[in-house]
Amino acid sequence: MDSGERRLAAIVFADVVGYSAMMADDEDGTLSALRAHRNATDPVILNHGGRIVKGTGDGVLIEFPSAVAAVNAAVGVQDLMRDRNGELPESRRMQFRLGINLGDIVIDETGDVFGDGVNVAARVESVADPGGVSITNAVFEAVRDKTDIEFTDDGKHELKNLPRPVQVWKIGSTSPAQPVIRDSGKRTLATVAVLPFQNMSDDAQQEYFADGIAEDLLTALSYDQNLAVVARNSTFAHKGRAGDIRTIARELDATHVIEGSVRKAESRVRVTAQLIDAETGHHIWAERYDRDLVDIFELQDELVTAITTKLRPTFWETAETRSSNLDSTSLDAWDLTIQGQFQVNTRTTEGFLKGIELFDAARELDPNLAAPVSGTAEAWLHLATFGWRSEDANPWERGFVAAEEAYRLDPGNYGALVAMSATHSMQRRPDEGRKYASRAIEINPHAANAYHFLALSLAVGGKPEESIPASTQAWRLGRYEPWHHDTASDLAYSHYLIGNY
């Protein structure tokens, strides 16, 4: 042990109150809920310079470079958990206890830490209140004149396996020194997860059609700012995976789940959809629709109206659906558009190029449809980001031209706004990038990629400290996005620029 690196550090130990009982009652649901909470709280820890050393079931051991950073992070985590628990039924609430100590630690070759500094933190955590933070006197002396946080003397405690009593202080709640990111938009009604619809057709190639129905429904629901709609890549990560709806909902932080199936045969389509209460697993509403394909847009309107009506306490008149896919007068153009998006979602060079071909075909049928144009912009920008090269195509330029055209066709098209933000930021026009990203967030305040490009525009524009909250929100909302690693890079870059090495 003496051969390891020795240093002074602030150690935080955290665990979940009543974890064993929760696991006995619902093992899968408890694990999913813990993963969801960790996805929300880990960025707070990282933003304060914390290093997550290891997890031990429900426990987490974290090292911080200073006591001040550890205390600010601990307060931020508990404030965030208080907000998150306030939005959940009592049976789904999860509370952490946190203990902090400042002392010598030894780090071995694997990065694990040992020593009295760790042992004391673990023991102090055991006397913390549910949802609270307790600290040793060493931490108190290190931070007392460097923060506005209130401390309460909790006296001396005889703690297990420690030779002498330990003076403990409790921490009150306050705003930490660095921003703690909470969910954008108040969840006044529900958080909805639209799971991939099952393709019940005999033709496996109709998979794109079932995905298209689910994606259109997700997009349309996203325009209602009273609803939080879980991102597409988060829900589609469960495609083809059997699982209990309640467990999936806990992992996605959803209060309601929509699932369904599609059967397409020649000129007819049958769509079934059901709305499920995530807490009980009970069906709130279910319906089956048999339609001619020419009535597909009317069917989408009916689905959105029925679902949002069930989620509201009283009946309401649905605002006209603004999804660009529903503006098309051509069923064939819409069909080609969702085929193109299906190809883009494969996240391969071949898929992007095939998607562009399908989008171009849709535009030939309906030049006024914005959705295939914004899809083209997305595909070109992905090709540019992935480093694709061609003698006769500049992907950055193609993406920018397509984004401008989509925005001209429909200034309210979410995809066009995100593409405009990306292209402007990448070409060193951060003010323009920020403008378009902010507008996209207004339309869909729960979409990770809009926050990602807002963060990029702020960092490029010389405002790295302001970009940290946006990057953190992108991290939390986009954990299943294929570019999730980029948000870690964004955070690292912003912290580097402001000297938080």
Residue 370's domain is classified under what CATH number? 1.25.40.10
What ranges make up the beta strands (E) of 126-172? Answer: 133-136, 151-157, 166-171
Convert the pLDDT of each residue in 65-74 to its tens digit. 899 999 999 9
**Same domain membership, residue 209 and residue 164:** no
How does residue 175 score in pLDDT terms, banded at 50, 70 and 90? very low
CA pair distance 487, 467, nearest whole angstrom: 11
Top pLDDT among 94 and 220 is at 94
**Same domain membership, residue 314 and residue 351:** no
DSSP letters, 6-58, are EEEEEEEEEEETTHHHHHHH-HHHHHHHHHHHHHHHHHHHHHTT-EEEEEETT
φ, ψ at 167 (rounded to 5°): -75, 125
Q: Rounded mean pLDDT of 40-50?
A: 87
**Same domain membership, residue 135 and residue 55:** yes
User: Is there a domain that residue 9 lies in?
Assistant: yes
**Same domain membership, residue 394 and residue 339:** yes
The total domain count for the chain is 3
Which residues pair with residue 501 across a beta bridge? none
Given a cut of 90, whether residue 170 has pLDDT beyond it is yes
Last residue of a domain, one of 291, 321, 351: 321
User: Is there a domain that residue 216 lies in?
Assistant: yes
Last residue of a domain, one of 301, 321, 341: 321
pLDDT averaged over the chain?
A: 81
Q: Which helix (H) or strand (E) holds 139?
A: helix 137-143
- Residue closest to 324 by CA, chosen among 343, 305, 353, 300: 300
**Same domain membership, residue 360 and residue 457:** yes
**Same domain membership, residue 136 and residue 213:** no
What ranges make up the beta strands (E) of 202-282? Answer: 227-229, 256-265, 268-277
Given a cut of 60, whether residue 224 has pLDDT beyond it is yes
CA pair distance 349, 347, nearest whole angstrom: 7
**Same domain membership, residue 473 and residue 402:** yes
**Same domain membership, residue 155 and residue 103:** yes
**Same domain membership, residue 450 and residue 362:** yes
User: Is there a domain that residue 267 lies in?
Assistant: yes
How does residue 326 score in pLDDT terms, banded at 50, 70 and 90? very low
pLDDT of residue 180: 43
pTM exceeds 0.75 for this model: no
Residue 178 neighbours by CB distance under 10 Å? 19
**Same domain membership, residue 233 and residue 150:** no
How does residue 225 score in pLDDT terms, banded at 50, 70 and 90? low
The CA-to-CA distance between both ends of the chain, in Å, stands at 28
Last residue of a domain, one of 285, 302, 321: 321
Contacts of 145 (CB under 8 A, 6+ apart): none
Q: Rounded mean pLDDT of 364-386?
A: 89
What ranges make up the beta strands (E) of 380-489? Answer: none
- Across 137-141, 160-164, 194-198, the highest mean pLDDT is recorded for 137-141
**Same domain membership, residue 219 and residue 100:** no
Given a cut of 80, whether residue 405 has pLDDT beyond it is yes
User: Which residue's entry shows tokens 């150690």?
Assistant: 11
- Across 100-114, 139-153, 265-279, the highest mean pLDDT is recorded for 139-153
**Same domain membership, residue 234 and residue 106:** no
- Domain hosting 196: range is 190-321
How does residue 188 score in pLDDT terms, banded at 50, 70 and 90? very low
Are 259 and 281 in contact by the 8 Å Cβ rule? The answer is no
